[in-house]
Structure 1
Amino acid sequence: MTTLRNDVRWLSPVFVRIGYGAAEAVRSPHDAMNYLHFRWPAHRGRAFDNARTLCADAMENGKPCETAREAFIRACVEASILD
């Protein structure tokens, strides 16, 4: 059985802007997964897939949290939502 670690946080948040809304802070792999699954724009490429994998690894397997953050930033750049 896998235990999800929802309490893991990044050293600094990533700010994203979805559509015309205000910038929003994403503070953890858990927050990032919510964006990747439920709020992401239609553009989903290789960086998107990599971010999902690394954020899940950070939450489920204790993989480096900052590696997941970097992957999430690359996915945000790919989707043009990094603020």
Structure 2
Amino acid sequence: MNMIIMTSGVRWSEPVYLRIGYGMPERIRSPKDALNHLLFRWPTVRGEKYSSARHICSAAEGNSLLHNEARMAFVEACVEADVLD
């Protein structure tokens, strides 16, 4: 018997709040939201934590066991980029 887990609608129990540049504060609620920001809205200066968060958030799309790890990695990337609100 194969089990398929759909994670697209899963949210973190506690969102991450960030602010990029002079923009409005944004609430990130899931690995999917985080990956979208990492890929399309992130500041141009990207470090080691960015790469790690991008990898883990991408992997968490298909593995619900990685959701908490993805959140922690995303928070570390936010701290590294100085965008945590």
TM-score greater than 0.5 by the shorter chain: yes
Which residue number corresponds to residue 39 of structure 2?
Answer: 37
Larger radius of gyration: 2
Whole-Å Cα distance in 2 between the matches of residues 5 and 37 of structure 1? Answer: 19
* Matched-pair identity in %: 49
Gaps of 5+ in 2: none
Count, aligned residues: 81
Query: Match of 1:32, SS?
Result: helix
Gaps of 5+ in 1: none
- TM-score (norm: length of structure 2): 0.87
Q: Aligned ranges for residues 2-81 of structure 1 at < 5 Å?
A: 5-81=7-83
Question: Where does structure 1 differ by over 3 angstroms across 4 or more consecutive aligned residues?
Answer: none
- TM-score (norm: length of structure 1): 0.89
